[in-house]
């Protein structure tokens, strides 16, 4: 049998979303304060070096596979979604007025860069479907995702970001422990990734802070703040849970590009997204 | 970054790591055996960024230089690949057609062991239950699950199904369930979906891994054969694996071509 993995647009239709996670409401805006309080009170299992132990396989049951990060009622193509955005309180991305039509232009004219199997960028890969392994060893926190086999190697050894002229789809992430929270600072990103399937975007000035905190043995409280003064009026924050997958879960190979045969056809109608400021 | 934010025990480990590329875990209460860095569970610590320094990516056997191809001493034991007669003919055909037939030209995941000796570094992350190898080339990954059986059924993966165990101080990885879509080098050396590999990673100094791989494929070869080579630790300050997103660059060229109006 040949296992051919084809990228399907309707990745996770959004059905069967849990109403509660770890005793907190599943929807991000209600999850956020509840998770924050629980995480503050929880004494997590620890690695031999004393840092919290988050090793294992994790999934994101309240997101819809990076289809839409704002409120969405759902349609024949995309599942319904409650906004992942907890700040600003209206749950909307605070775009600068001059970008008012850009998202719609992206959606109508361009192929989602993740649809061509390019690395999804940070933080999109965290709310992409099919699970992640977290591996920890002294000085290292690694996230290996099944979707498009992307990974992040996050040094936690105090080392600095790489030079500003090197740009990476997945950016350069550096972590540090603040109490029981892993704080990850990601820079060196490109402007070639989107934030979801419907064209939400950023520039190469995007700077991402993520916070990973266990709130019980099987739940990570994840929050991420995106700052990009070229595109947003202010920094804004998403939050959602990562839930431990069944014991022994194995993240396997998804050979995304190798099974993707529709790009020539798509290029007849849509354009490749080569960034907010594409090369001339 | 302020070290003050890090728990004390972690600071000790961090300081040892920062202070020495050898990362001896002197604070763990375990006497270091020899000069090899070891993990908390006493295994040789293979963590870090590694890369080969050879020409196997072009041809795993002895070969002359050619335009764009550095001459090289092969990595195959005895320099002999025991092809079945039909397979030797196919290899020669592959060599002739390599500019279009080599799966590398399609930017597909290059398979094992080929990705090991391509001229790109990879990062090993080691835990007791899982060793993940994260490659710069095409953000390829391998999750080596330790001390568990292969998945049942005839599944075909570009990068195979990897299962690991420790044989003394050597990490032994058994890899099977491959596709027949990958080659072994740019010279047309190939295998079928029946490929079965046994890789052995032995840390021989803090900065060198002796890598040996036994290649078995009853559909293509008359017997099993071996390759071996050192893996070198990348020692540059703040070195990390970066990205080589092959097909994204191909698409970009295509988009440029389409953007230029025909004359």
- Phi first, then psi: what are they for A167, rounded to 5°? -110, 135
Looking at chain A, which residue has its C-alpha nearest residue B242? A168
Same domain, B171 and B199: yes
Give one DSSP letter per residue of A219-268, joined into a string.
EEEEEEEEE-TTTBSS-EEEEEEEEEPPTT-------TGGG---HHHHHH
Same domain, B28 and B91: no
Does residue B69 lie in a domain region? yes
B157 to A150: CB separation less than 8 angstroms, yes or no:
no
Residue B24 in this model has a pLDDT that exceeds 60: no
A239-243, B5-9, B108-112: range with lowest mean pLDDT: B5-9
Residue B260 at interface with chain A, using a CB cutoff of 8 Å: no
Same domain, B167 and B197: yes
- Phi first, then psi: what are they for A20, rounded to 5°? -130, 150
B132 to A151: CB separation less than 8 angstroms, yes or no:
yes
Same domain, B146 and B183: yes
Task: Specify the pLDDT at position B34.
Answer: 61
CB A150 within 8 A of CB B134: no
Same domain, B59 and B166: yes
Same domain, B84 and B177: yes
Into how many domains does chain B fold?
A: 2
Same domain, B155 and B197: yes
Q: Which two tokens stand for residue B119?
A: 């001229």
Task: Specify the pLDDT at position B17.
Answer: 37
B6 to A176: CB separation less than 8 angstroms, yes or no:
yes
Domain span at residue A258 reads 29-272
**What tens digit of pLDDT does each residue of A119-134 get?**
999 999 999 999 999 9
Distance from CA of A64 to the nearest CA of B (A): 24
Domain span at residue B60 reads 48-247
Selected for mutation to probe chain B from A111, A114, A139, A267 (highest B CB count within 10 Å) is A139
Average pLDDT over residues B4-13: 41
Contacts of B129 in chain A (CB under 8 A): 55
Q: How many CB atoms neighbour CB B202 within 10 A?
A: 18
Residue A1 in this model has a pLDDT that exceeds 90: no
Residue A118 at interface with chain B, using a CB cutoff of 8 Å: yes
Average pLDDT over residues A102-106: 97
Considering chain A, what is the average pLDDT of its residues? 92
Contacts of B39 in chain A (CB under 8 A): 137
Residues 13-52 of B with CB under 8 A from A: 13-14, 17-18, 23, 25, 28, 39-40, 47
Same domain, B23 and B71: no
Does residue A251 lie in a domain region? yes
ipTM of the complex as predicted: 0.92
Residue B212 in this model has a pLDDT that exceeds 60: yes
Does residue B152 lie in a domain region? yes
Contacting residues for B67 by C-beta, under 8 A, at least 6 apart: none
Contacts of A255 in chain B (CB under 8 A): 108-109, 157-158
Into how many domains does chain A fold?
A: 1
B247 to A136: CB separation less than 8 angstroms, yes or no:
no
Residues 78-137 of B with CB under 8 A from A: 107-109, 123, 125-127, 129-130, 132, 134
Task: Specify the pLDDT at position B8.
Answer: 42
**What tens digit of pLDDT does each residue of B118-176 get?**
999 999 999 999 999 999 999 999 999 999 999 997 899 999 999 999 999 999 999 99
CB B183 within 8 A of CB B109: no
Contacts of A162 in chain B (CB under 8 A): 238, 240, 242
Does residue B217 lie in a domain region? yes
Same domain, B53 and B6: no
Residue A158 at interface with chain B, using a CB cutoff of 8 Å: yes
Residue A87 to residue A67: CA distance in whole angstroms? 19
> What whole-number percentage of chain B has pLDDT above 90?
80
- Phi first, then psi: what are they for B173, rounded to 5°? -120, 125
Same domain, B169 and B68: yes
Same domain, B140 and B86: yes
Same domain, B120 and B224: yes
Distance from CA of B67 to the nearest CA of A (A): 30
- Please state whether beta strands B196-205 and A219-227 pair in parallel, antiparallel, or not at all (unpaired): unpaired
């Amino acid at each position: 049998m040949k296992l051919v993995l084809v990228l399907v647009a309707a990745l996770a239709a959004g059905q069967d979303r849990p109403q509660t996670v770890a005793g907190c409401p599943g929807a991000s805006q209600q999850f956020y304060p509840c998770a924050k309080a629980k995480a503050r009170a929880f004494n997590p299992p620890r690695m031999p070096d004393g840092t919290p132990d988050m090793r294992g396989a994790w999934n994101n049951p309240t997101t819809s596979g990076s289809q839409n990060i704002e409120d969405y009622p759902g349609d024949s193509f995309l599942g319904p979604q409650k906004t992942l955005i907890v700040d600003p309180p209206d749950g909307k991305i605070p775009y600068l007025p001059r970008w008012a039509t850009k998202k719609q232009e992206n959606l109508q004219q361009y192929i989602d860069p993740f649809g061509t199997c390019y690395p999804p960028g940070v933080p999109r890969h965290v709310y992409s479907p099919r699970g992640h392994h977290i591996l920890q060893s002294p000085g290292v926190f690694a996230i290996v995702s099944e979707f498009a086999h992307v990974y992040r190697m996050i040094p936690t050894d105090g080392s600095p970001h790489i030079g500003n002229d090197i740009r990476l789809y997945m950016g350069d992430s550096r972590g540090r422990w603040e109490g029981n929270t892993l704080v990850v600072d990601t820079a060196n990103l490109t402007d070639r990734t989107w934030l979801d399937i419907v064209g939400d975007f950023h520039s190469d000035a995007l700077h991402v802070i993520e916070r990973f905190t266990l709130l019980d043995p099987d739940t990570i409280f994840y929050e991420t703040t995106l700052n990009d003064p070229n595109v947003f009026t202010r920094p804004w924050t998403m939050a959602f849970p990562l839930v431990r997958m069944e014991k022994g879960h194995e993240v396997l190979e998804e050979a995304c590009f190798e099974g993707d045969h529709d790009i020539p056809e798509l290029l007849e109608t849509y354009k490749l997204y080569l960034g907010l400021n594409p090369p001339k | 970054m302020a070290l003050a934010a890090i728990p004390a025990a972690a600071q000790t480990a961090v300081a040892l790591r920062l202070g020495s590329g050898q990362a001896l875990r002197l604070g763990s209460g375990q006497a270091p055996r020899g000069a090899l860095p070891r993990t908390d569970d006493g295994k040789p610590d293979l963590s870090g960024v590694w890369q080969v320094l050879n020409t196997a990516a072009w041809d795993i056997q002895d070969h002359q230089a050619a335009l764009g191809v550095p001459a090289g001493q092969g990595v195959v034991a005895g320099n002999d690949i025991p092809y079945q007669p039909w397979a030797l003919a196919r290899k020669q055909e592959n060599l002739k057609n390599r500019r279009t037939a080599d799966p590398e030209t399609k930017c597909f995941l290059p398979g094992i062991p080929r990705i090991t000796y391509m001229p790109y570094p990879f990062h090993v992350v080691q835990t007791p239950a899982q060793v993940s190898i994260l490659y710069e080339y095409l953000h390829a990954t391998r999750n080596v699950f330790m001390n568990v059986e292969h998945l049942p059924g005839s599944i075909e993966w570009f990068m195979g199904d990897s299962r690991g165990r420790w044989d003394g101080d050597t990490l032994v990885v058994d890899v099977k369930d491959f596709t027949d879509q990958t080659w072994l080098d740019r010279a047309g050396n190939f295998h079928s979906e029946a490929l079965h590999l046994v890789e052995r990673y032995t840390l021989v100094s803090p900065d060198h891994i002796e890598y040996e791989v036994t290649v078995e494929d009853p559909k293509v070869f008359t017997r099993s054969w071996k390759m071996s080579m050192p893996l070198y630790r990348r020692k540059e300050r703040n070195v990390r694996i970066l990205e080589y997103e092959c097909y994204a660059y191909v698409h970009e060229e295509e988009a440029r071509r389409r953007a230029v109006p025909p004359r």
